[in-house]
Chains A and B, each alone.
Chain A
Amino acid sequence: MSVHTLTVDGVEVAVPAGASLLDAVRAAGADLPTLCHLDGLTPVGACRLCLVELEGSGRLQPACATAAAEGMAVLTQTPQLQEWRRMAVELFFAEGNHVCAFCVANGNCELQDVAVAVGMDHSRFPYQYPNRRVDASHPQFAIDHHRCILCTRCVRVCDEIEGAHVWDVANRGAECSIIAGLDQPWGEVAACTSCGKCVDVCPTGAIFRKDDTTAEKEAHRERPQLLRAARDQHQWLNQ
């Protein structure tokens, strides 16, 4: 297998051909905040938190969706990148209704974690207080759109891993929302297998089990990767 050598913040790493810049960053022992990315799902490069700077050209690329190439030199923590990451997280908080104290995912929320990681304690942008829906029509699960950050992990896991394609994104711009079927109540969408993978991968408390109350949500964000390994490489966790 061919290997690419590159540097991450000056640290030299070697990654197999086909690896992403995110893989390279992790191999170098550095870490990048991510929200839309999840191992095992097709990267989309939407949350812009894992943007890194290519030294020399100064271009910014999403580490999750960019292939590592020989001789690249990437910077992950310039002051500028740190500031923009913080602003991106502020924008996330300001566009939805994220009230940690009442949230099922409090303490187990990637948005919360990212806010801590980038040092965001309040938003400099006015909160939009959008009026969104809560859909509790499914017998086991519910989706609270106020907490949705449109990472589309649920859409991808349902399509790519489960194969049911219950979810998709409707509308556009600030009006975007995750929908089930023809924008129907989730419980009415016959395609749903109730497998719960969308609950497992949701980074926030947007999709949750009805049994869970405040701070009780347990996510299993490793599952897509495990399932992919099982499917593609015939490697199972217990082997």
Chain B
Amino acid sequence: MIAPPSAQSPPLAPSSPQADLPPQAVERTTRLIRQHRGRADALIEVLHQVQELYGYLPAGALAQVARELKLPLSRVHGVASFYHLFRLEAPTAHRCAVCLGTACFVKGGGELAARIERRLGLRLDDPAGNGTWALEHVSCLGACGQAPVLVVDGQLEPRLPMDDPAALDARLEALGLADGAGAACGGAS
């Protein structure tokens, strides 16, 4: 049942995930790696750019990056999974980040997160979210003067009115953070 090591070296991993990637994106990746002159220390920069290309880091793209930067696969995956801003799964259509830095925490960031969880019917930091929205936490955006803050689809939303539930709900509603199922329990009080 066990093949001797010499006989078992297939040329490539069984399925080549890169086959599923759009050829233009693969080409772009090659070009941008060339811009970094193929230097291994540019790995994080390259991953940022590849993520911009796909919206996340598909396995096939990681394999391509590894090959073209001449790095082991596991090293590339190790780096990609270490940094929290890299996504290894396709993101949901909309994303919201709630700041849980200390200033936002003091000003009710935790309650804000809980409220959005209820409204959208999802769990904080679950990348799958409710299918349309995902809610993640960030540790500090340096916008402490505006606490508490949200980032909704890349847009910073300052000074959420935590002391005025009606105004807060209206604001969240206006940001599109509403959900039929979640609104019943979140908006009633």
Contact = CB atoms under 8 A, between A and B. Distances in A.
B131 to A, nearest CB: 24
A72 interface: no
A144 B12 CA distance: 25
B74 A166 contact: yes
Given A189-B13, A190-B10, A182 B5 contact: no
Contacts of A116: none
A180 B78 CA distance: 10
B81 A171 contact: yes
Contact of B59 (A167, A180, A182, A189): A182
Contacts of A166: 72, 74
B5 A194 contact: yes
Nearest to A171: B81
Interface residues of A, number: 24
Q: How large is the interface on B (under 10, 10 to 19, 20 to 34, 35 or more residues)?
A: 20 to 34
B93 interface: no
A189 B1 CA distance: 18
Label chain B's interface by main secondary structure: helix
Interface string B47-86: 0000000000001001100100000111111100110000
Nearest to B84: A172
Given A165-B72, A182-B63, A170 B14 contact: no
25 contacts: A139-B3, A159-B72, A165-B72, A165-B74, A168-B72, A168-B74, A168-B78, A170-B81, A171-B82, A172-B81, A179-B74, A179-B77, A180-B74, A181-B13, A182-B59, A182-B62, A182-B63, A182-B66, A182-B73, A189-B73, A189-B74, A190-B13, A191-B72, A193-B5, A195-B5
Interface of A: 139-140, 159, 165-172, 179-184, 188-191, 193-195
